[in-house]
Amino acid sequence: MNPTPTFINILRIWLALVAVMAFGNTIQCFISSNYLFERLYTINEKNVSGLAARLFGVWTLMSGVVRILCAFFIYNKTLYFSTLVSFIIALAHFTSEVFIFNTAVLTIGIIAPLIVSSLSILMMLFGFRYIEEEDPRM
């Protein structure tokens, strides 16, 4: 029986941490309708409504669930790929809001998800080499 590669264990911890942060952000979206304006889309308050905050919260919850499941079942290739795509979508979303739609500026509220999604994409792409094999714990 081969041990799980160290990198995969680090990736699992990272995914779980990112998922927990997503769950925290989800709660904030449902508690405060101003959360998105105060932290992310800071250019014009009329761009953010309570509905937009709740929709963003639901997306964040869904991505957090996918990521925590991937942390637990990292050798599931479909789940792994879905998690990778969730980070690509997040990176595309935040980048487009800053540079295309001009609803956000590069504050810590935008820079943090850009860094997290970029690092996660790189780590998951690197991790593909380990995922191609079967789960060594089996």
By the 10 Å C-beta count (0-12 exposed, 13-18 middle, 19+ buried), 132 is classed as exposed
Q: Nearest 5°: phi and psi at 74?
A: -65, -20
The residue type found at 19 is A
Can you give the pLDDT at residue 2? Answer: 57
Can you give the pLDDT at residue 1? Answer: 45
CA pair distance 133, 136, nearest whole angstrom: 8
Q: What are the pLDDT digits (tens) for 75-108?
A: 999 999 999 999 999 999 999 999 999 988 999 9
Overall residue count recorded for the chain in this entry: 138
Q: What are the pLDDT digits (tens) for 14-63?
A: 999 999 999 999 999 899 878 888 888 877 888 788 888 899 999 999 99
The DSSP-derived string for 49-93 is -HHHHHHHHHHHHHHHHHHHHHHHSTT-HHHHHHHHHHHHHHHHH
Residue ranges per structural domain of the chain: 6-131
CA pair distance 56, 132, nearest whole angstrom: 33
Can you give the pLDDT at residue 57? Answer: 92
Q: What percent of the chain has pLDDT over 90?
A: 69
CA pair distance 110, 8, nearest whole angstrom: 27
- Name the residue with tokens 């860094």: 115
The arithmetic mean of pLDDT across residues 65-72, rounded, is 98
Q: What percent of the chain has pLDDT over 70?
A: 93
* Contact (Cβ atoms closer than 8 angstroms) between residue 92 and residue 51: no
